[in-house]
Structure 1
Amino acid sequence: MFGRLRAWKRRHSLLVDTLALTPLMLLGLLSALVASAVPEVYGRFSTVVLLLLSAMLVLPLIWRRKYPVATFAIVALVCFVQWLVEISTLPVNVAVLVGMYGVAARRPLKWAIAAAVVTEIGIFLWLLRTTDDVLDQWPGPTVFVVAVWVTGIYVNMRQRYVESLLERAERAERERDQQARIAAAAERTRIARELHDVVAHNVSVMVVQADGAGYAIDSDPEQARRAVQAVSSTGRQALAEMRRLVGVLRDDHTSSEEYAPQPGLEQLADLIEQVRASGLPVDFTMSGPRHEVPEGEQLVIYRIIQEALTNTLKHGGPGVRASVQVEYGAHDVTLTVSDDGRGASAARADDGHGLIGMRERVGMYGGTVQAAPRPGGGFRVTARLPIGQMA
């Protein structure tokens, strides 16, 4: 309810300011009527003149929020003209304090000081005409003026503070949304990289197996049958991994398979056997003192080996052999995947996403990766990965 009321006040601010001045308008009307009945003070001024003076003092205050300096200047000028024509002060002259408060509450300090000085000059001129002891009488109204002025300054500071809080909240919200977009983009990149590795490797294996089945279907049906079974098994594995990766984008929990563990060092033997089954001989060795490797870095090692062997399957040529070496160091793991295939002469059909993915994965953990043809033929991928050290 209060929120709707504030919104209504913002939409009808002029009406609200006018209604707020109603008591002052009534005071001006009554003071003009009463003053006209005091001939010894206002004798030579008619009720119409006093009503016009009261209106000129009150009506500009309707725009005190939007134009506080101009409003105060008009009210102060009317008061000065009132002093010049020797019209005694009216209760409605309090309008000059309202105008001064508006300047102090809505404009910088220099304008507030200027408004206070003008008000004090007005008080001095009024006392100069109404009393012989100006200095003794001046402190009383000055204290009242200072109180109104300080209140306006406080409201101004409070408003600036609230505005700064709102600005900070809006900036924090924008930064939060930006961080969310960055995180979403990073997650999409990670999923795209994972999908590339899964699809590239498994489809390459399936293509090799399918080609083998095609060649052996007439001469060796049993071998062709095993090749087709390998294609089926590899396809199911690829689908399972793809469902797991795509599952992180979904809100519902339709399958526990979506949350299967990421592949790591324990699955390297299965990966090697799968590649061997596709017809690529692979020598696999692990050396050095074994120590615990974080799951994220295990996934990096697995994907680099998977990508390197996939490239060997695709580009190594006939009769190629591969070697995978994983060496544990005191604070790092070094892995080398090499083959004796075509090397630099191989036509690289892909667009380089695999090697880019390797560098991105290793770079996340402060490691290095080198991929280049071997002297004398073949290709080698070497990666060094610090253990437990984020970049």
Structure 2
Amino acid sequence: MRQRWSSPSPPAGSPPSGHRRYDSIRSWFDAHPFVINSIIVLVVFVYNLPIQFSSVPEDMWPGLGLLFSVGLCAPYLLRHRRPLTVFVTISLVAAVHLAIGVEMMIADVMVLFALCALSSRFRWHISVPATTAVIIILIFATSAPVNAGYMSVGDVGVLIAITVWTSTWGALVRVRRDHEHTLRERAEQLEREAQVQQQIVAAQERERIARELHDVVSHSLSVVSVLADGAAASVDSQPAKAKTAMEDVRDTGRSALREMRTMLGVLRTDDSADAAPQPGIDQLRQLVAESQTAGFPATLDHRGERSPLPEGLSLAVYRIVQEALTNVRKHAGTQLTEVHVRVDQTSDQVAIRITDNGNSTSANHERQKNGHGLVGMRERVSAYDGTLHAGFRRHHGFEVHAVLPIGGRRS
């Protein structure tokens, strides 16, 4: 079956374009962490160049500042792969250069970057000891003989507060990421459950359609049997009548064969089928009249030929209209004032169009698309190799348009 679905407008709660651009940029950086790592390392290293030599005491080799700067910055390039190793390495470099008397430099901020990365990847049993280790290093930096008077205890207190804030920020990033991961898993689970539910609904619809087709074929075979008996009884005395009866047997048998081919593609249970006669296209006026009696503003326009249809096809037309009217009752809303059913019948196809002017929402449309009604329509249209279109109208309301070829069957 060929299906075309109208694309509904974005729901009211969809994020604005600015948020979508931000999410796309963030997703790109998440997919290329080495890029952002390199930018941070380059900026900090270049900014540290003017003071890295002045941080080294005069009695030491001046190149120590450059070595420690590289040791503080370079490991961060592997932050996304080895956050714990990177943090330990950078922290040790910072502790060593403070212990030997090299003053705190701008490159020491890489300790905070490494701590934030660590806290965003590991839980409290790792992030809390790491934060404590950084605080100990800061306290050690103020003690004699390391502190040469360039940093007060108050300054270190501020740095400790910044350290705690940095660790907390990383932890919040981790919590948010875990929460988003949980939401994605839940959404995927709901999607899987919805797919299973749709499969169940489709199976139930196929069973119901198969039972109905079973009744149609059974009735046709019963007619064949009766006609054959009549032909056999009159073949000698009334050969013309017997010939007519056999022609009716031929036509009825061909029709039953088409219905049987259609039924072969539809699953069926052993449940007993309803013995009541099945409705068809001739009962559409009664169906619409019943809706009008119930206060439903439905009208019917049946155009074209009125030649009899195969019973299964006639039943499919009736059920499509019935299910479409049921969907309108459920989803059209309180502003509904008009429901129009139009059936155009030609010698080779039946076209059905059901339109309304209700105020269906996008959420209602999703429920319609995944619910029993449209699933049943899809199955019935597919059984006759027809086409189905269902979607919103240009201004307001909903439309269902199905075309069923006469003589069509499941391919």
Q: TM-score, normalised by structure 2?
A: 0.52
Out of 20, 27, 30, the residue aligned to residue 50 of structure 2 is 30
- The one-letter code of the counterpart of 1:121 is I
The question of 1:140 aligning with 2:158 is answered: yes
- The one-letter code of the counterpart of 1:27 is Y
CA distance in 2, matches of 1:260, 1:111: 76
1:259 to 1:236, Cα distance in 2 relative to 1, 3 A: farther
Question: How far 1:229 sits from its partner (Å)?
Answer: 6.6
1:54 to 1:193, Cα distance in 2 relative to 1, 3 A: same
Residue number in structure 1 paired with 2:65: 50
CA distance in 2, matches of 1:196, 1:155: 61
- Which stretches in structure 2 are left out of the alignment for 5+ residues? 1-19, 267-278, 285-321, 324-411
Residue number in structure 1 paired with 2:85: 70
Deviations 1:84-104 (A, max 9, x none): 323222121111111111111
Bigger CA drift: 177-186 or 53-62?
A: 177-186
Given that 1:128 and 1:134 are in contact with CA atoms closer than 8 Å, whether structure 2 keeps it comes out as no
| Larger relative contact order (CA 8 Å, sep ≥ 6) | 2
CA distance in 2, matches of 1:29, 1:136: 27
Out of 84, 96, 110, the residue aligned to residue 95 of structure 1 is 110
1:59 to 1:203, Cα distance in 2 relative to 1, 3 A: same
CA distance in 2, matches of 1:29, 1:131: 21
Bigger CA drift: 187-196 or 49-58?
A: 187-196
CA distance in 2, matches of 1:260, 1:53: 91
The question of 1:168 aligning with 2:177 is answered: no
The question of 1:194 aligning with 2:212 is answered: yes
Q: CA RMSD in A?
A: 3.9
Map 1:218-257 to 2 at 5 A.
218-221=236-239, 224=242, 227-228=245-246, 231=249, 234=252
CA distance in 1, matches of 2:110, 2:85: 14
CA distance in 2, matches of 1:11, 1:136: 40
- The one-letter code of the counterpart of 1:83 is L
Given that 1:58 and 1:95 are in contact with CA atoms closer than 8 Å, whether structure 2 keeps it comes out as yes
Question: How far 1:12 sits from its partner (Å)?
Answer: 2.9
1:165 to 1:184, Cα distance in 2 relative to 1, 3 A: same
CA distance in 1, matches of 2:120, 2:189: 26
- The one-letter code of the counterpart of 2:37 is D
Residue number in structure 2 paired with 1:150: 168
1:88 to 1:154, Cα distance in 2 relative to 1, 3 A: same
CA distance in 2, matches of 1:61, 1:158: 23
Residue number in structure 1 paired with 2:382: none
CA distance in 1, matches of 2:143, 2:231: 116
The runs of 4+ residues in structure 1 deviating greater than 6 Å are 131-137, 239-246, 257-260
CA distance in 1, matches of 2:39, 2:156: 33
The question of 1:110 aligning with 2:130 is answered: no
CA distance in 2, matches of 1:59, 1:100: 15
CA distance in 1, matches of 2:53, 2:229: 110
- Which stretches in structure 1 are left out of the alignment for 5+ residues? 37-41, 249-256, 263-294, 297-391
- The one-letter code of the counterpart of 1:183 is V
CA distance in 2, matches of 1:261, 1:145: 79
Question: How far 1:29 sits from its partner (Å)?
Answer: 2.3
- The one-letter code of the counterpart of 1:12 is H
Deviations 1:232-261 (A, max 9, x none): 685588589789999x9xxxxxxxx98675
The question of 1:122 aligning with 2:137 is answered: yes
Deviations 1:331-377 (A, max 9, x none): xxxxxxxxxxxxxxxxxxxxxxxxxxxxxxxxxxxxxxxxxxxxxxx
Question: How far 1:200 sits from its partner (Å)?
Answer: 3.1
Given that 1:124 and 1:134 are in contact with CA atoms closer than 8 Å, whether structure 2 keeps it comes out as no
Question: How far 1:131 sits from its partner (Å)?
Answer: 7.5
Instruction: Tell me which structure has the larger Cα radius of gyration.
Output: 1
Deviations 1:105-159 (A, max 9, x none): 2221221112111111111211223289997665332212122122222222122
Question: How far 1:184 sits from its partner (Å)?
Answer: 2.1
**Which is richer in helix?**
1
Deviations 1:156-188 (A, max 9, x none): 212222222222222222222222222222222
1:45 to 1:170, Cα distance in 2 relative to 1, 3 A: farther
CA distance in 2, matches of 1:131, 1:144: 22
Residue number in structure 2 paired with 1:337: none
Q: TM-score, normalised by structure 1?
A: 0.54
CA distance in 2, matches of 1:44, 1:151: 40
